[in-house]
A and B are shown apart, each in its own frame.
Chain A
Amino acid sequence: MDSWGFSIAKTRTIDIDSVDFKVLARLTDKVPSAKRCIMCGACAATCSAANFVDFSFRKTHLLFHRGQFSNISEELDKCMLCGKCKLVCLRGVNTRAIIYNLRIILNDMNYKRIAL
C-alpha cells in the first residue's frame, strides 16, 4: 500500500440487504414498545449524559434498527440509566429497557465494550 500512497476507501452506506433483522426481533420481543419509536429525538434532547458527552440515544437506537451494530456498545456506555428519556417519550417507549437489553444482545454477539 505504501508505494501507492493511498488505499481503497471503504463504503459507509447502510446496506439493508446484509442486515440480520433477527437481532432486531430479539429486542422487540423483549421490549415491544421499541417498535413504536418514531425517532423524534425527545429522548436525546432530555438526556442527562448528553450534557457531558457526545451521545444520542435516538441515533444509537436507529442504527440498531438498521443493523449497524459496530459502535453501539461504546455509545451505550455513555448512558447513566437515569431514565429521564423514558419519562419524556411521547410514544411510551421503554427506552431504559431498550438500553439494558441492547447491552445484553450486543454482548451475546461479542461486540466488545470498552471497560468503564
Chain B
Amino acid sequence: MMEKKYWKDYQREIADDDYFYHRSCIRQTFFPGSEALFLKILKNELGKNVTDDPNLHTCTGIGYHSDVVPFDTTMTIVARLLSQMNKSELKNFVPSCVTTFGLLSEVLDTWKHFPEELEKTRKFLKEATGREFKIPENVAHPSDIIYKNRKVLKGKMKYQLVNKETGNPLKVVEHIGCHYAKIFPENTTGGAEFPQVLAGMIEAWEGKVIDYPERRHCCGFGFRQYLIMANRGYSVANTKKKFESMQPYEPDFVVANCPGCAMFMDRWQYTIAEMEGITYDKNKRGIPVLTHEEMTGLLLGYNPWDLGLQVHQVQVEPLLDKIGVVYNPDDKYVGKSGIKLSEPQRPKNI
C-alpha cells in the first residue's frame, strides 16, 4: 500500500553546507546580479562554503525540451557536470535554474528506475571524455537554501515586506516555476499544489501571499513556443491569463523561482501593454516581477542597481517606495565604469 501524505506538511531534505553551484543560462543572461547575490548571501551572510566552478556549462535543458538534444545526450552532459562536482569532492548540487533542477530530478529518477540507462550513460561519458561520475547526495535549488535559512536572514534584514506608509503587509504573487514542483513533487518543499518554498519566505518576512485562481498555471515559456517567433502568441497568452487572474487582488509584486518565468512575466506585461494597451495595476505601470534573489537582496539592504533591477522592463521604483528602500535614481543607469549611460527608450503604454 502506498503511504499517503499531506503535501503541505512535506519537507524535503536540504543540505546545510558545502554547495556546488551550477549557473543558469537564462539567469546569467537576464539576471546576472541575482546569481552574484546568491553567492554573496551564502558566503557573507550565512558563512557557507560554495564552489563556483568555471568548468561547467549548460545542462542542455532548453535544447532537450525543444527536442534538439536527445535524452542520451542530456543524461551524459548532466553526468559530466556531476563528474566535475566530484573533482571538488562536493556532494550537494545547487542548480540556479529551475529547468536544470527538474531535469536533474528526471535524470536521477531515470537512473534509479532504469539502471541500464545509468550504465549506458557511464559508458557514453567514458567514451567521450574518459570521465567517471558519482550520483550527488543532495540536489537543492537556491530558493530551497534561502527558505531553509529564512529566519536567520530575517535577523539581518533592513526592510520587511510591509508597506511603509500603511503598515500593511505587501501582497505578493509567488510563481514557483513548473519544473520546480510539477515533475517530482517529492523533491520540493510543500509539494506541487501549495509549495512552501517562496510562500514560506514571504510569510517569514511579513508579506502576504496571494492565492489567485491561476496561481499554478505555467508562465507560458513553452520552450519552442517562445524560441520560434511565430509561436510566441502561445507564450504571451499564458502570461496574460495569469495576470488577468491576479489583477483583482492588486498584487504589489510578483516573485518567481524560475529565471525564465521572472523574465517572461516581466517582458510579456510590456508586450501586452504595447499591443493592446492593457496593464494590470491601477497606475498603469505594470506589476514588478522579481527573482527570489532580488527579493531577498532588497530586504537585506543591497543597492537595487547592484542587484540588477534596472534591467527589468517593468519599472520597480513604485515597489521600492512602498518598501521604503533608499535608492539613488541617478545611479540607476550607471555602469561599472561609473559613467552614466544614455537611458533606455520609454514604452508607450507601461
Contact = CB atoms under 8 A, between A and B. Distances in A.
Contact of A4 (B231, B237, B240, B275): B275
A11 B237 contact: yes
A18 interface: no
B229 A6 contact: yes
Give chain A's interface residue range (CB within 8 Å of chain B): under 10
B234 interface: yes
A9 B271 CA distance: 13
Contacts of A109: none
Interface string B112-151: 0000000000000000000000000000000000000000
B232 A5 contact: yes
Contacts of B230: 5-6
A4 B267 CA distance: 13
A6 B231 contact: yes
A55 to B, nearest CB: 29
Nearest to A7: B233
Tell me whether chain A's interface is mostly helix, strand or loop, or mixed: loop
B241 to A, nearest CB: 8
Give chain B's interface residue range (CB within 8 Å of chain A): 10 to 19
B240 A8 contact: yes
A11 B238 CA distance: 9
B55 to A, nearest CB: 37
Nearest to B225: A9
Interface in B223-281: 229-234, 236-237, 240-241, 271-272, 275-276
B275 A8 contact: yes
Interface of A: 1, 4-11
Contacts of A8: 233, 236-237, 240, 272, 275-276
A7 B241 CA distance: 15
Nearest to A13: B241
Interface of B: 229-234, 236-237, 240-241, 271-272, 275-276
A71 B321 CA distance: 52
A9 B229 contact: no
Contacts of A5: 229-230, 232
A107 to B, nearest CB: 33
B271 A4 contact: yes
A9 B229 CA distance: 13
A67 B272 CA distance: 29
A10 B276 CA distance: 13
A1 B229 CA distance: 12
Contacts of A9: 233-234, 236-237
Residue from A8, A10, A11 with most neighbouring chain B CB atoms (10 Å): A8
A11 B214 CA distance: 14
A10 B237 CA distance: 7
Given A6-B236, A8-B275, A9-B236, 14 more contacts: A5-B230, A5-B232, A6-B231, A6-B232, A7-B233, A8-B236, A8-B237, A8-B240, A8-B272, A9-B233, A9-B237, A10-B237, A11-B237, A11-B241
Contacts of A7: 233, 275
A11 B241 CA distance: 9
A10 B233 CA distance: 9
